[in-house]
Amino acid sequence: MASYLIFSTVTRSRRRLAAALLAGLAAGVGSIGVPGLAPVASAFADGEKPGARTVRPEIGKPIQAAADLIKHKHGREALEKVREADAVPNKTPYEAYVIELTRGSAASTVGNASEAARAFETAANSPAASAGEKLQFLAGAANQYYSAKNYAKSAEVAARYFKDGGAEKAIRTLYVQALYLSNNYAAAAKEVLILIQTEEQAGKVPPEDQLQLLQSAYYKQHDTAGYANALEKLVTYYPKKDYWLDVIESVKSRSGFSERLSLDLARLKLATGTMRSANEYVEAAQLSLQAGLPAEAKKFIDQGYAAGVLGTGPEADRHRRLKDMAAKNLAEDKAALGQDDAKLAASNDGTALLSTGLDYVLNGNAHKGLEMMELGIRKGGLKRPDDARLQLGYAYQVAGQNQKAIQVFKTVHGTDGAASLARLWILHLGRGA
């Protein structure tokens, strides 16, 4: 059960994703178009040439009339002419091919996507179709099946298009979307990831709707690792607060996350502007006070007041008392800071050096505090070295040394959430935030 908790945190992103996907799908479908009638014109232009692809007059006359009607958007009348031509017996493969092509164009004119799709697919399967025409008609069939909401068939025909050598980017987009909408989420994720990686390798930013589709495809499969990777890509290229909130919450909800890292998670939320409720600010401040870091507790509280979520409502008195407590503890902490520095430096207690050094950094003495933290890590004997490096990276970030912070965060490992938080810090700081 625990491994699936991640998916209970993303209902808001799913609502956003649904709207974005609808917009993206409409744009993708509209960009592909309908095959033209060049083979029909060729049939009449080359009619007197020996060996040319030609049609008999009893078929050619109604087909020519249908083509003229299609030009003037008279699709229903054109379909009548197509049926007249189709009624002629003993058709050659090329005559049948021209009839299906014309039928597809006429049906698409009147919005009968299902009939148009079947006609274009039949034309593509004809031995009379050249290699280039076959690709054109497969693309048209995939598009029309998509418009008819027959997504599984659209994906099937699009797959044939690529297998036969097609390379249109618009068809690739349609293929991915058709896979997704036909509930083939694993294939959709695989294909859209190829699109995204192609953009990345070219030094381009992948489209946001592709990243959203990747996120949703992994979500639908309950693929926790893939979902987290998609969210990280979203915040890398589109660092919106909603995406940051989703990716941070996904770390918190992931199987194996240690509650011991709750303060570290709150620090990242404050840095990314994703703290929302009064309880979040209060809990973070209380955790800082418990850790002996009243300067940090004051920072959480001040930010909560600035955001307008503390100091109001029925809990206003509680917020004020917490603020007063943090101020009192901070005054006492500043008075005591430095009294045991020599003793700490001479001891082998790396943990005490680490916590005192962080306290210095949070109180504005970054140079001394960072030296003390580095010394604490060098002394070793730390119960949780990855936690120590996570705190050191945070201290460098507080000190404004983001590149050094990134270097330290890259050394954080483990499976309890510390490495995941460090990776998010790297993404955040890597954008110069």
Q: Are residues 137 and 271 in the same domain?
A: no
Question: Is residue 137, in this structure, part of any structural domain at all?
Answer: yes
Is the same domain home to 242 and 266? no
Rg (CA), the chain: 32
Count of domains observed in the chain: 3
Residues 161, 55: one domain? yes
- Cα separation, 96 vs 77, whole angstroms: 19
Within-domain flag for 95: yes
Tokens found for residue 143: 């598009």
Note the pTM of the prediction, 2 decimals. 0.78
Q: What distance separates the 2 farthest-apart alpha carbons in the chain? A: 106
Tell me: do 336 and 388 sit in the same domain.
Answer: yes
- Break the chain down into helix, strand, coil percent, rounded to 5: 75, 0, 25
Alpha helices in 148-240 (DSSP H): 151-163, 169-181, 185-201, 208-221, 224-237
Q: Has residue 66 been placed in a domain?
A: yes
Is residue 178 situated within a structural domain? no
Domain final residue pick, 253, 270, 299? 253
Provide the domain limits for residue 203.
2-28+183-253
CATH assignment at residue 92: 1.25.40.10
Residues 6+ apart with CB under 8 A from 247: 228, 231, 232, 234, 235, 424
Ramachandran area for residue 381 (φ above 0: left; ψ -120 to 50: alpha; else beta): left
Residue identified by tokens 């005054």 is 331
Question: Is position 358 within any domain?
Answer: yes
Mapping DSSP onto H, E and C, the string for 189-206 reads HHHHHHHHHHHHHCCCCC
Q: Which residues, 6+ apart, have CB-to-CB distance to 388 below 8 Å?
A: 350, 351, 354, 376, 377, 382
CB 70 within 8 A of CB 109: yes
Q: Which of 341, 352, 361 is nearest to 401 (CA)?
A: 361
Count the residues in the chain: 433
Each residue's pLDDT expressed in tens, for the chain with a length of 433 residues: 233 223 333 333 333 333 333 233 333 333 355 666 655 555 554 444 444 578 999 999 999 999 999 999 999 999 999 999 999 999 999 999 999 999 999 999 999 999 999 999 999 999 999 999 999 999 999 999 999 999 999 999 999 999 999 999 899 999 999 999 999 999 999 999 999 999 999 999 999 999 999 999 999 999 988 999 999 999 999 999 999 999 999 999 888 899 999 999 999 999 999 999 999 999 999 999 999 999 999 999 999 999 999 999 999 999 999 999 999 999 999 999 988 888 888 888 889 999 999 999 999 999 999 999 999 999 888 999 999 999 999 999 999 999 999 999 999 998 899 999 999 999 999 875 4
Among 312, 270, 309, 306, residue whose Cα is nearest residue 287: 270
Domain boundary pick from 167, 191, 226:
167
